[in-house]
Chains A and B, each alone.
Chain A
Amino acid sequence: MTLVDRTDALATLLLQAEVERFFSAEAELLDERRFDQWLDLLHEDIRYWMPIARNASFDRPELEYTREKSEASWFDEGKDTLRKRVAQLQSGDHWAEEPRSRTTHLVANVRIATTDGADITAKSRFVVCAYRLEHDLDLFIGKRVDVLRREHNALKVLRRAIYLDQSVLLSRNLTTFF
Chain B
Amino acid sequence: MNFSDLIDVEAGTLSREAFSSEEIYRRELERVFMPAWNFVGHTSQLARAGDFFQSRCGTESVIVTRGEGSAIQVLLNSCRHRGMPVCRYDTGNTSGFVCSYHGWSYGLDGALTGVPKFKERYQGRLDRPRWGLIRARVAVFYGSIWATFDDAAPPLEDYLGADMQFYLRSLLQGPDGADDGYEVIGGIVKWQVPCNWKFGAENFAGDHYHGYSHISVERLSVGLSGKTSRHNFAAVKTPRQAMSVADPKRGHTIRASVYQALGAYDPQEGAPDAVNDYYRACHEERQRRLGDKARLMIHGGVIFPNTHFNSAGRTTIGLWLPLSAARTEIWRWLFVPKNAPAIVKDTLREYYLRYAGPGGMVEQDDMENWTAAQRGTQSLVARKYPFNYQLAMGLARRSRPDEWLGNEVTITEDVAEHNQRAFYAHWARLIAAP
Contact = CB atoms under 8 A, between A and B. Distances in A.
Main secondary structure of the interface of A (DSSP, over half): loop
Contacts of B188: 72
A150 interface: no
Interface of B: 88-92, 185-194, 213, 215-217, 219-222, 226, 329, 334, 346, 349-350, 352-354, 357-359, 361, 364-365, 367-369, 371
A88 interface: yes
A67 B186 contact: yes
A70 B329 CA distance: 24
Across the A-B interface, give the 7 residue pairs with the lowest CB-CB distance, nearest first. A71-B186, A72-B187, A169-B191, A66-B187, A96-B364, A94-B216, A96-B368
Contact of B92 (A57, A80, A85, A174): A57
B192 A71 contact: no
Contact of A55 (B90, B194, B350): B90
B92 A168 contact: no
Contacts of B369: 95
A72 B90 CA distance: 14
Contact of A168 (B192, B219, B350, B353): B192
B135 to A, nearest CB: 23
B354 A81 contact: yes
A176 to B, nearest CB: 11
A5 interface: no
Nearest to B94: A57
Contacts of A51: 187
12 contacts: A54-B90, A54-B187, A55-B90, A71-B185, A71-B186, A72-B352, A87-B219, A88-B220, A168-B192, A169-B191, A172-B371, A174-B358
Contacts of A75: 353, 359
Contact of A69 (B217, B346, B358, B361): B346
B187 A94 contact: no
A88 B192 contact: no
Given A72-B187, A72-B188, A172-B194, 12 more contacts: A54-B187, A55-B90, A72-B349, A75-B353, A80-B226, A81-B350, A81-B354, A84-B220, A85-B361, A88-B216, A88-B220, A92-B216
A137 B215 CA distance: 26
A74 B213 CA distance: 22
Contacts of B367: 96, 172-173
B361 A88 contact: yes
Contacts of A54: 89-91, 187
Interface of A: 50-52, 54-57, 60, 63, 66-67, 69-77, 80-81, 84-85, 87-88, 91-96, 167-175
Contact of B192 (A66, A69, A74, A171): A171
A172 B216 contact: no
Main secondary structure of the interface of B (DSSP, over half): mixed
B88 A52 contact: no
A84 B222 contact: yes
Contact of A169 (B217, B220, B222, B358): B358
A84 B192 contact: no
A123 B193 CA distance: 31
A76 B354 CA distance: 9
Nearest to A78: B350
A63 B185 CA distance: 14
B219 A91 contact: yes
A172 B368 contact: yes
B427 to A, nearest CB: 23
A170 B191 CA distance: 6
Contacts of A87: 219-220
A63 B52 CA distance: 13
A60 B364 contact: no
B320 to A, nearest CB: 13
A77 B353 contact: yes
A88 B369 CA distance: 16
Contact of B186 (A55, A66, A93, A169): A66
A173 B358 contact: yes
A172 B358 contact: yes
A168 B226 contact: no
Nearest to B190: A168
B310 to A, nearest CB: 15
A88 B232 CA distance: 20
Contacts of A81: 222, 226, 350, 354
Contacts of A66: 186-187
B35 to A, nearest CB: 27
Contacts of B371: 172
Given A72-B334, A74-B358, A84-B221, A172 B90 contact: no
Contacts of B89: 54-57, 60, 63
Nearest to B331: A168
A66 B353 CA distance: 13
